[in-house]
A and B are shown apart, each in its own frame.
Chain A
Amino acid sequence: MILLPCPWCGPRDADEFGYVGEMGARPDPRTTTPTQWRDYLYLRRNVAGWTSERWYHRAGCRRYLVVERDTMTNEVRPHPSQPGTIDR
């Protein structure tokens, strides 16, 4: 079982979460070119190792959170930017 550190609910089974994916900065739709926009939509770094990613706690507090995960081992740790991470 993989536990994800929800900053609001504490460590919970990954089954409760929806996987959103790796973090990427959304370009400004008013100034972006079609190529930049499609790069944002489709291209992925697909890191083999530690990466930051977004999850959605759908069967819990229904809030979005950021975690760090090693994609080779599925080891998970809280993202440093995530405020108020509690450890129950």
Chain B
Amino acid sequence: MGDPRWRGRQRPSRYSALALLRHGVAGSPWPPAWRTHELEQSYDVVIVGGGIHGLATAYYLARNHGITKVAVLDKGYLGGGGSGRNTAILRSNYLTPEGVAFYDRSLELYRGLAADLNFNVMFSRRGHLTLAHSDTSLRTMRWRAEVNKVSGVDSEVIDPDDVKRLVPEMDTTDEARYPILGALYHPPGGTIRHDAVVWGYARAADSLGAHLHQDTEVTGIDVSGGRVRGVRTTRGDVAAPVVVNATAGWATLVADMAGVRLPVQTFPLQAAVTEPVKPFLRTVVVSGTLHVYVSQTARGELVFGASVDPFASYSTRGSLEFTEGLAGHVLQLMPSLAKMRLLRQWAGLCDMTPDFAPIMGHTEVDGFLLDVGWGTYGFKAGPVAGETMAECVATGRAPQLISSFGLDRFAQGHLVGEKGAAAVGH
């Protein structure tokens, strides 16, 4: 990515069918999607964490607010954390009005993202099914559907016959261990290519002037007189009046550097992918009771995700218990998958908060902002988190959309209670 020929050039060439043809015919190399820079001694804004959230914040800071002296620091490579480990599912059928409004804005941004960033992010609207296996969960689905409809989000409870029509492979008989009683159907839900989202935001933020620094680990945050002064990194010190913690998995450790304590516990969430097969599963299928969600990628692989592991850990090693449980649960839903083989499995780190809602906005340290606590729902919120955090930095105030997600809600007892999150068995 650090091609010196590209240094100093303002905008990369636009990606288009014509450009593809020209490069294809001439065989000329594509310029790198983003540049590398020397680490400067001061920036207006330093963003810790080069995932979707950090990069989107940098992009919207430049595009919406004209703030371009911005550095995004990542200890590894861009999108190597939660951004590259999620199961790339998008939806906005949450349970609280705050959650619905927030995730619906994110879905709206995702829908227009390819045109906005001039990068094919492969958004695929394919419908999202949340299965109900008990009267209680059917009641929750009805509740969610009504909350969604009031907020203008397309969401409806459907019966097992409709489920069978959408996914013929599904076992909707009464003989199943957990018979399917109905489902919450959310047509606007879908999937997207998560790496492309990272690269698209990185390329767009870079072209607007933000500096993206990979392999740059933040080792300390300087705070004096109740104000943040800058960060110390493995590549030198940087002065900055604003530092945004946009990390996942490491949110507590980065906040500790600024002396801010968080109500966060980090849990691994494991996922797995099968060998590719012909497309047969159009819809995204989720079962809270069986703790599993399934979707088929454009390549034909089935992607499976689970709920978080039963105990807190920073270890991303897979476990046999997960694979065994996952296989059993998937086969209860779709017995015809019995002969499919898993290709690989991995884990990502989820920073869980007590109320399954994120922590966003200002802290008791002036200039130290949080965009953390993203639990199992960080990926689908990436664009709206970037947009609102950028506004928060630019105006000094948390916008309406995130006003209920502040860190002070825990001391005041105003928890959000988002039971529509993936980790909640309901």
**A interface, CB within 8 angstroms of B:** 1, 14-15, 18-19, 21-22, 34-35, 38-39, 41-46, 48, 71-74
Contacts and interface: CB of A to CB of B under 8 A. Distances in A.
Interface stretch (B308-316, B384-392, B417-425): B308-316
Contacts of B312: 19, 21-22, 46, 71
A46 B264 contact: yes
A32 to B, nearest CB: 13
A73 B336 CA distance: 37
B413 A34 contact: yes
Contacts of A14: 311
Contact of A72 (B261, B314, B354): B314
Nearest to A35: B411
A7 B252 CA distance: 31
Contact of B410 (A15, A21, A22, A38): A38
A50 B410 CA distance: 27
Given A38-B410, A38-B411, A38-B413, A44 B311 contact: no
Interface of B: 250, 252-253, 261-266, 310-315, 317, 320-321, 354, 410-411, 413
B321 A43 contact: no
A46 B411 contact: no
Contact of B253 (A15, A39, A48): A48
A23 to B, nearest CB: 13
A35 B253 CA distance: 22
A71 B262 contact: no
A43 B315 contact: no
Q: Which 6 residue pairs are nearest across A and B when measured between Cβ atoms?
A: A42-B263, A19-B311, A46-B252, A42-B410, A43-B261, A48-B314
A73 B314 CA distance: 8
A42 B312 CA distance: 15
Contact of A21 (B253, B265, B413): B265
A34 B412 CA distance: 8
Contacts of B310: 18-19
B321 A15 contact: yes
A42 B408 CA distance: 12
Contacts of A35: 411
Contact of B313 (A34, A38, A41, A71): A71
Contacts of A38: 410-411, 413
Contacts of A1: 320
A73 B315 contact: yes
Contacts of B252: 44-46, 48
Contacts of A21: 265, 312
Nearest to B253: A48
A48 B312 CA distance: 10
Contact of B265 (A34, A44, A73): A44
A35 B250 CA distance: 25
A15 B5 CA distance: 56
Contact of B264 (A44, A71, A73): A44
A74 B265 contact: no
A46 B266 contact: yes
B339 to A, nearest CB: 27
B413 to A, nearest CB: 6
B262 A46 contact: yes
B410 A46 contact: no
Nearest to B351: A46
A71 B315 contact: yes
A38 B313 CA distance: 23
Given A21-B265, A72-B315, A42 B321 contact: no
Nearest to A72: B314
A74 B413 contact: no
Nearest to A34: B413
A25 to B, nearest CB: 15
